[in-house]
Amino acid sequence: MKHVNTSVNIAGVTFSNPVIAASGTYGFGREYGNYVDLNKLGGISVKGLTLLPREGNMPPRIAETPSGMLNSVGLENPGVERFISDEIPFLSQYDLKTIVNVAGNSIEDYVNMTLKLNETSVDMLEINLSCPNVKHGCVSFGVSEQGVYEVTKAVKEVSKKPVIIKLTPNVTSIASIAYKAQDAGADGVSLINTITGMKINVKTRRPVLYNNTGGLSGPAIRPIAVRMVHEVYQAIDIPIIGMGGITCLSDALEFIIAGASAVMIGTYNFMNPYLCEQIVIDLIDYMKHNNIDNIKEMVGSLRLNG
């Protein structure tokens, strides 16, 4: 049977395949480990971490929407120290790459977390400059070119790990933001995070979410995400990890053809916990049936009309 090469190299880190579980939807891997062979995944981006533990926002903080969901979880997490002591030993059992999603209220937070993670076995950092559900930090840096540049530069100056910058779609020009991340030394970018939205209870005339607004994810945002990956691919030379509403192999291939070297699977994991593993299986079959020897042949292979 024909052998195909699904491996991808992102900033010097080789993933066995381009399918990565997205931050915030796969916990620390434990939550899916009894159902899925984690060794089949290319990698996991763990739940967003902060320097100190966070309880997150008040409930309700999840709301279903047509073809998606709103969340305002607010980065509930045990803090980076607990992650290092409790979760890294668990993840180290598996043959997959570990990406740590790093969130902060200040540049100093990002730098301090990076220093702590330098001495661990994690493979890569995903610097979260895009979470819309916290009042300070994250997206407040990510919506300006200067903010992205300053955080990226500060983290790169101290990091021993490759640094991926996670971008928000809630900006005028995501390509310009991505270029500033590259200019500051980023090893890659991931996009998109959620799009800010609101759902209203018409009986009470109040927002459904306690936090009033939340981040929209799921299939509803996929066309926007694919378009933004294409725009960023034309603007930068560093690798792109694409995400936003992926539910099957065809969805994932849209991102790869648009320019993503790898994809992250998020919200639909809640609907189908086997999705990441299934997409890997389907990718191998697709490549064999279409005589594609190496997944790299498909990256950025979009043929525009006109």
**Does the active-site annotation cover 138?**
no
Q: Are 113 and 58 in contact (CB under 8 A)?
A: no
Rounded to the nearest angstrom, the gap between the alpha carbon of residue 2 and the centroid of all alpha carbons in its chain is 31
- Residue pair 110/127 in contact (Cβ under 8 Å)? The answer is yes
The one catalytic residue in 131, 138, 248, 276 is 131
Rounded to whole angstroms, the Cα distance separating 168 from 174 reads 8
User: What would the two tokens of residue 243 be?
Assistant: 């995400």
Catalytic residue set = 131
